[in-house]
């Protein structure tokens, strides 16, 4: 079977019909675990992802930094967020273009986030910018429709744009449950905007996207594209990896715990999304971060509290942030 752009559009439509008939089949459970792998670095293990009652996507393991800046050759948590955002939008634009029977010569999504002057905690006022760059025989109306579809359907974009409740659990003899609810922004004139962090995500084929941030390559794919045919973690898993790595960085700071601690981050995703007539959320839900101590060690509650207070990625996922979307078609800016 020949697939335009490598996207199994017929298979995606078939899944959509199945989800409408049997909504429980659309419930996707996502989870990643971060374990220490040396100073300021960890290993991220994904999945396996379970989709419905019968299908699964294979797990992946990849290195990750726990702080910023990350060690050479690694990405820090914020870099993973930017890569996940760009990759998620790129795969949705590619799917929408395929639905219009259009094959672009190049599809790239550039993402940016504002940083406060002089470093420090990420400014909660900062918006995120997504620039979709499409080259090829694509007319303006089609390009605009595809960008609009991606804005509606991108799970990572919608997760970052909306407020989310994050539950943190400190696993100990008496489990401590901490619920971190969204915070309202309060003006802070002492934090003018400074440098920007950016990433570039280039669509390859199907739903495979290769992002680059700070010289580090990040591959993403979608397990719901073809059963068992995924080639890399999904954008949503990279977003959870950013949360887990950042939390581990706080847990393993001096006085936080020994280096046997690990972090498990999980979420639920209803794949019916915008296709549902029941108002199903597009973003991630049931976000849970578990702090797991090593053998014979404890994670101090202060380490969890520090992450809930100072975590940049935590704040990006927890609080609503405006996302500006731009379109550049064959080198020319187009109003969105």
Q: What is the CATH classification number for the domain harbouring 44? A: 3.30.300.20
Is residue 127 within 8 A of residue 324, CB to CB? The reply is yes
The three-state (H, E, C) secondary structure of 130-190, written as one string? EEEEEECCCCHHHHHHHHHHHHHHCHHHHHHHCCCCEEEEECCCCCEEEEECCCCCCCCCC
> How many helices (H) and strands (E) in the chain?
7, 16
Calpha distance 159→266 (Å, rounded): 14
Residue 314 tokens read as 């935590």
Q: Give the pLDDT of residue 334.
A: 96
Q: Structure pTM? A: 0.90
Bond prior to 69 in cis (omega within 30° of 0): yes
- The pLDDT-based confidence of 320 (bands split at 50, 70, 90) is confident
Q: Give the pLDDT of residue 70.
A: 76
Kindly report the average pLDDT of the chain as a whole number.
84
Distance, CA of 40 to chain centre: 21
Lowest mean pLDDT among 37-51, 79-93, 175-189, 303-317: 175-189
**Which structural domain, as residue segments, surrounds residue 58?**
4-334
- The pLDDT-based confidence of 208 (bands split at 50, 70, 90) is very high
CA proximity to 284, closest of 178, 198, 177, 162: 162
Question: Mean pLDDT, to the nearest integer, of 157-182?
Answer: 80
Is residue 130 within 8 A of residue 324, CB to CB? The reply is yes
Question: Mean pLDDT, to the nearest integer, of 113-118?
Answer: 65
Give the angle subtended at the CA of 317 by the CAs of 287 and 326, to the nearest 5°. Answer: 135
Question: Mean pLDDT, to the nearest integer, of 207-217?
Answer: 94
Q: Exposure of 74 by Cβ count < 10 A (0-12 exposed, 13-18 middle, 19+ buried)? A: buried
Q: Which helix (H) or strand (E) holds 36?
A: strand 27-36
Calpha distance 255→329 (Å, rounded): 52
How many domains, in total, are found in the chain?
Answer: 1
CA proximity to 172, closest of 71, 272, 291: 291
Is residue 285 within 8 A of residue 273, CB to CB? The reply is no
Q: Give the pLDDT of residue 201.
A: 98
β-bridge mates for residue 131, sequence order: 110, 326
Q: Exposure of 72 by Cβ count < 10 A (0-12 exposed, 13-18 middle, 19+ buried)? A: exposed
CA proximity to 112, closest of 79, 143, 154: 79
């Amino acid at each position: 079977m020949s697939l335009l752009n490598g996207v199994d559009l017929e298979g995606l439509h078939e899944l959509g019909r199945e989800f409408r008939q049997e909504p429980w089949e659309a419930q996707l459970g996502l989870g990643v675990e971060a374990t220490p792998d040396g100073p300021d670095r960890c290993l991220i293990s994904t999945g396996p992802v379970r989709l419905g009652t019968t299908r699964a996507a294979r797990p992946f393991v990849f290195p990750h930094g726990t702080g910023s800046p990350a060690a050479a050759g690694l990405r820090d948590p914020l870099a993973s967020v930017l890569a996940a955002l760009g990759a998620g939008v790129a795969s949705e634009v590619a799917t929408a273009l395929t639905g219009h029977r259009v094959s672009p010569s190049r599809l790239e999504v550039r993402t940016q986030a504002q940083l406060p002057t002089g470093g420090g905690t990420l400014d909660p006022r900062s918006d995120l910018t997504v620039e979709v760059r499409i080259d090829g025989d694509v007319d303006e109306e089609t390009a605009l429709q595809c960008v609009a579809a991606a804005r509606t359907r991108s799970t990572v974009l919608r997760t970052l744009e909306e407020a989310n409740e994050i539950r943190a659990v400190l696993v100990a003899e008496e489990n401590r449950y901490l619920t971190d609810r969204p915070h309202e922004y309060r003006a802070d004139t002492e934090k003018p905007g400074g440098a920007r962090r950016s990433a570039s995500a280039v669509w390859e084929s199907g739903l495979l996207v290769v992002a680059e941030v700070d010289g580090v390559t990040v591959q993403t794919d979608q397990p719901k594209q073809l059963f068992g045919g995924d080639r890399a973690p999904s954008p949503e898993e990279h977003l959870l990896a950013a949360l887990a790595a950042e939390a581990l960085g706080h847990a393993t700071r001096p006085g936080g715990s020994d280096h046997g601690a690990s972090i498990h981050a999980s979420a639920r995703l209803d794949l019916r999304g915008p296709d549902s007539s029941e108002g199903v959320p597009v973003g991630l839900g049931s976000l849970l971060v578990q702090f797991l101590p090593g053998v014979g060690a404890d994670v101090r509650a202060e380490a969890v509290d520090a992450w809930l207070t100072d975590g940049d990625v935590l704040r990006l996922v927890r609080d609503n942030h405006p996302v500006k979307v731009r379109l550049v078609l064959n080198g020319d800016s187009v109003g969105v």
